[in-house]
Amino acid sequence: MYTREQASQLRQAFWTTFGQYIAPLLSAEGLKTNWLNYRTGVKYVNFRMHAGKNTASIAIELTHPDIELQQLFFEQFEELRNVLHSCLGEEWEWLLHVTNDEGRVISKIYKEIAAVNVFDRNDWPALISFFKPRIIALDAFWSDARYTFEAL
């Protein structure tokens, strides 16, 4: 078991390692990108990566505080479902209106893997192999799809 500080340091070390690994890659538009804090440019549309002690996930999170507008964003993503899954090369899970860890209602489209632990350095290659192709694929999808959402 780790202290809170040790756990924080290990998490930070993983994300620093991942950031250094992926930093040389350019976005789909040929730009230098902060992959860890990916900016979609559309308020309330976020790409999130999470690594914990049992699972890891990558998600598109829709966080608009107006539930009806959040649903509108979700429905717009549903219109692009085939394009998204084609870019990703796999199907993701879709959840409309779920409560996150902070108690806020969000919607998300995500992929998760089990049996990985960010606190075990032996799992880091598997975590990097999980996150890297998916965040790159999300970027490729978003380089075309974001214009659909800017009007909302």
pTM of the model: 0.94
pLDDT at site 149 = 85
Token output for 103: 């108690």
Q: Name 93's Cβ contacts closer than 8 Å, sequence gap at least 6.
A: 109, 110, 111, 112
Q: How confident is the model at residue 57 (pLDDT cuts 50, 70, 90)?
A: very high
Domains of the chain with CATH codes: 4-150 (3.30.1460)
Q: Which amino acid is at 129?
A: S
Q: Name 53's Cβ contacts closer than 8 Å, sequence gap at least 6.
A: 117, 118, 119
In angstroms and rounded to an integer, the radius of gyration of the C-alpha atoms of the chain is 16
- pLDDT tens digit sequence for 10-46: 999 999 999 999 999 999 999 999 999 999 999 999 9
Q: How confident is the model at residue 119 (pLDDT cuts 50, 70, 90)?
A: very high
Strands 105-114 and 93-99 come out as: antiparallel
Q: Where are the beta strands (DSSP E) in 63-133?
A: 93-99, 105-114
Query: What average pLDDT does this structure show over 128-152?
Result: 93
| DSSP code, position 63 | -
Per the model's pLDDT, the better-predicted residue between 108 and 7 turns out to be 108
Q: Is residue 1's pLDDT more than 90?
A: no
CB 45 within 8 A of CB 73: yes
- pLDDT tens digit sequence for 65-105: 999 999 999 999 999 999 999 999 999 999 999 999 999 99
